[in-house]
Structure 1
């Protein structure tokens, strides 16, 4: 037996716990993508058993990717092409990085975790930077994952306060003409943030944290003139800030704080269409301590139809 033959490796992975046609895609598309990303490995499918052949190192890397793809499938249905490419890059380094399925929080027995490659990079960017911009279409988990990380930071006592804010900009309606008090008019704009929070904390805990000021849910205008120390601050719907508002918000950052700015640049409701989110991304590129994560339709974890709708509308920055 030659040295090259001795170095060959064969491993088999049982594709259980998934709906195989969905996992593989039309005409076994997933296997074709794996073959493209791992040209040194041969893939052979028989029933539910996928066998990988090639050099020991190449097979090990491909196997790690395949196992992570199975984790994705068990969580949310079918991995996207971006997952295959992204995980293949990460899987090239043996044992590098955490598993995609690592939970951020466990709430009432249910784990909250990044479910796509793009979401994993988004979470990592938040963990590694004081200020992170997360952009992408609806349904990609931008706000939900940021709130989960904020709750985790509070539980670990890494911060003493969570601040959730968004601009009160209307999509087709004028705030002043809506019925009710100012608080009642503002509430619909803050409700998505509040709803995300209540899925991660006990029902009796949220009012207590709001009452003590440990959690604050407020319009962006309320941030002016403040310095937020030891806080986890999330600005949602940031595409509806002006450049001046964005600068005001970013300069609220105090000591031992984290900021996450989320938005979708395709859904600007400002009359001028001059978005502070787009402006900040241009101005702050390359600034140390600031991270950027771009989510796409591959990261949508709502109904699969949402991904197709996003693609049909041609979402782009």
Structure 2
């Protein structure tokens, strides 16, 4: 294949041909470059995969993205997965996924990094209520926040409402020191952190003071009707079925709801059933409601996080098979998904 644009070739190869070496390590085909011509050698399947990867990277570069090692790794991964699953549409090609810009601030662009993340973002565009379910680090809350900021900037909504259940505090909120804001801030901090990534920090206090952005515990939603708002419920696995029903029925005209959570990390006391665990059965056939699923392969924090999630899932599966009477137990002896039993808690929205 021939790359006519010299700058495109330089971007494709990377500094010191680093991206070229990464491509050769990721693919079974040999890649040789002379001038503006790229020659591929290997089996027919390997050569076809390598050519597709190169074309996707060139297309991604043409869309304005700067190629890096992460883009190469994710492009090859998506193409490899596509070989064993139904062929994705043109809108789900690696270039379309990695080139979708949601929010930009000071040269930094927030975009999906996996096919499932792209489907999650598309579901938010296409449905009024979306449930983003998946393990820590898959970008559930972060991408929802980016879509909320995008909607606000495009004047599709008048305000953003961010909420979380303060389950760990329970009835002890009144005994914690400080004002009410001081008491609930630790539970809402991840939402503030994401906001600071997407908006000028100087503008956030002004937007919050005017009510354009509201961050509040779930209990504050009771009795309200929320019109013309983008509403995000985070850590929804810590809602009861009654709380989930209360929250969803706050939906007003011109609003959109995104609910995020990880059903394997439930903190509810006394073995209460999570509202996020039952809502799919209740709303599965309701029109304009979507349930995009994210998995450990969509983890976009440190690569080790994805491996940790997979290792825990495999440990649970192996021990459930070996001891059926312990099917509700997690890897540290507590109930599965119970963070108080020792499982690590996500410190914020997955990126």
TM-score, normalised to structure 2, is: 0.72
SS of alignment partner, residue 294 of structure 1: coil
Single out whichever of 61-70 and 237-246 deviates more from structure 2.
61-70
- The structure where helix makes up a greater share of residues is 2
SS of alignment partner, residue 252 of structure 2: coil
SS of alignment partner, residue 46 of structure 1: strand
Instruction: State the Cα deviation string for residues 189-220 of structure 1 (Å, max 9, x = none).
Output: 11111110121111221111101101100100
Instruction: State the Cα deviation string for residues 99-131 of structure 1 (Å, max 9, x = none).
Output: 112210110111111111121111111111111
SS of alignment partner, residue 292 of structure 2: strand
Partner of 2:186: 188
Partner of 1:76: 70
**Cα pair 1:76 1:115 within 8 Å, conserved:** no
Instruction: State the Cα deviation string for residues 41-99 of structure 1 (Å, max 9, x = none).
Output: xxx423465639979xx96x985555446859727363288623565668665577771
Instruction: Give, in whole Å, the separation in 2 of the partners of 1:80 and 1:298.
Output: 13
2:189 is equivalent to residue 204 of structure 1: no
Structure 1: give runs of 5+ residues left out of the alignment. Answer: 1-10, 32-43
Single out whichever of 125-134 and 177-186 deviates more from structure 2.
177-186
Instruction: State the Cα deviation string for residues 216-274 of structure 1 (Å, max 9, x = none).
Output: 00100111111111110000000000000001111111111111000011110001241
- Matched ranges for 1:95-110 at <5 A: 99-100=96-97, 101-110=99-108
**Cα pair 1:90 1:96 within 8 Å, conserved:** no
2:31 to 46, 57, 61: 46
Single out whichever of 198-207 and 307-316 deviates more from structure 2.
307-316
Instruction: State the Cα deviation string for residues 9-59 of structure 1 (Å, max 9, x = none).
Output: xx468752354565565xx4x55xxxxxxxxxxxx423465639979xx96
Single out whichever of 284-293 and 69-78 deviates more from structure 2.
69-78
1:254 to 247, 252, 255: 252
- Matched ranges for 1:296-315 at <5 A: 296-314=295-313
**Cα pair 2:127 2:289 within 8 Å, conserved:** yes
Aligned residues: 289
**Cα pair 1:132 1:292 within 8 Å, conserved:** yes
SS of alignment partner, residue 99 of structure 1: helix
